Structure 1
């Protein structure tokens, strides 16, 4: 199943269930026990412009350009912990990364931000921060793949948004890329306000990635958004985590959300370095095609996956419920109602 088709299936399931300023390198993701207490282009051109054909009498005819995928707004679950924070993050990125022909560039992007309620000064800052998404392509479309909390601490929030973007190339073909963006928000009397955007910036792919990386990025049951795939191809996930992913994929279909870049550097509200920053962790937003946040997803499915992750070597496993007595392995908090966190304490 292609990624767009898979996303459509997941969104349809979500809809049926009733889903309706600190710097980005500080305040990490809340994965070590929760609230206190850049752009990656993955994949080549998805469609080449065919050569001109000839009509009656030998008159050259120019074939039509392939259309961009249509925009598809991300649905918010009725069980969201902070729906207005997540909604503000998602809708702004959808607006910034999608434009019709002739509306490229920072000027129109600032107008789109202001249309989402961002003040003029704030719009200029956010557009500058979103530069990796704002190419010179004459038209583009963004689709959000997933949206999860990177941390919730009082009046501050981090929302992590893996997305895919299709852009019109100079030759008329369609280029397929994407990023994961850490969106920072602050709660004000008028609601949640976006203060900063931090797009992922994975490193270059390894020249010789090795069998473990190749097996992970090509596995039919491991689904990776562009930034997560780029992170793994660049060697930014330790072998213990890669082996666990492959072990889990023997029994589960896994939708990964975040691996390394695009995630906050520190555990949210603390000075502790995140396991994502150490390249020892990955997050999952759906298992067997069922999203973690969906209230109709069976508890047994998610709980079974969490226990399987611990058996596969994870030393910290976070999710929407505390399993057993918790102890040193399992934890839960408000930020992990919408995703699962698996961390490993080995670099090997």
Structure 2
């Protein structure tokens, strides 16, 4: 996104209106996107069977069971939630089609672009598969493209993150991958191994991790190569940007616009040198590096406009 394009978004979150928006400028069992249902929302508990008392019967043996996948459901704060639901269901459907011994749980679907009749939803999902007696868990990001017609949103293309040539992690990249406060999908780790992520982005994430925990959706792989709806190359494609969809376990989309945590995170990204910060709101004290619109209601874009 150019500086001119950002100028008209400086006042804060835009009203969605006709959804004339373009794309972004430039996770473990405790994932905040895999929250349990509210208490009391399930069926009544069955009567207790005394024979199930662990003190009177042996513990079950055998391999750890696969987790049960649940459909992703939007909260009331989501912008254009129907598009996200369609994208999430497509990833869930494809996950079920991969055979027994494998479960796919959508963690969070984040926008990569949104216009009146087209959208990109970058779906972060956790794949759990059986490997002998053990379970292997992998986060993946998939770019789901949609179009809207008279019957609503429909999937037009599914673009898995490309395979990257494996390489050795540099010292800073290794610190980032090993940091328990930074949750990275497998394609993001592959980008780091391939050396496609600028050191500036790695350093700003390491700095943010000293104060916050973060859930990352994407660096480059899995993000639309151009700013959605334009021919301009995204800073994600250049390796100069990262999208964070949750901070300290809280999805960005669920934070009020004046939430102190959100404001502090936006300020910290600027203090650490980012020159292109998109989010739900422009914080007080902006020096010209922040922009806000409805597309960025569900994440914070931290990049460098070099």
**TM-score (ref. length: structure 2):** 0.78
Contact 1:88 1:194 in 2 (8 A): yes
CA pair 218-277 structure 1, distance change in 2 beyond 3 A: same
The match for 1:288 is: 248
Q: How does 1:86-165 map to 2 (within 5 A)?
A: 86-98=84-96, 109=97, 134=98, 137-165=99-127
The match for 1:186 is: 147
The match for 1:131 is: none
Kindly indicate whether residue 31 of structure 2 is the aligned counterpart of residue 71 of structure 1: no
- Deviation at 1:81? 0.9
Q: Which structure 2 segments of 5+ residues have no match?
A: 1-26, 40-60
Distance 1:196 1:219 in 2: 34
Q: Which structure 1 segments of 5+ residues have no match?
A: 17-62, 99-108, 110-133
Q: Comparing both structures, which one devotes a greater share of its residues to helix?
A: 1
Q: Out of 221, 225, 241, which is 1:265 matched to?
A: 225
The match for 2:171 is: 211
CA pair 6-312 structure 1, distance change in 2 beyond 3 A: same
Distance 2:231 2:213 in 1: 34
Distance 1:225 1:153 in 2: 26
Distance 1:164 1:11 in 2: 10
Distance 1:188 1:153 in 2: 13
Kindly indicate whether residue 159 of structure 2 is the aligned counterpart of residue 198 of structure 1: yes
Q: Which moved more, 1:150-159 or 1:292-301?
A: 292-301
Distance 1:227 1:138 in 2: 24
Contact 1:14 1:75 in 2 (8 A): no
The match for 1:12 is: 35
Distance 1:298 1:11 in 2: 25
Distance 1:204 1:260 in 2: 14
Contact 2:142 2:159 in 1 (8 A): yes
Distance 2:257 2:222 in 1: 27
Q: Which moved more, 1:310-319 or 1:219-228?
A: 219-228
Q: Out of 287, 292, 296, which is 1:332 matched to?
A: 292
What CA RMSD, in Å, does the superposition of the two structures yield over aligned residues? 2.4
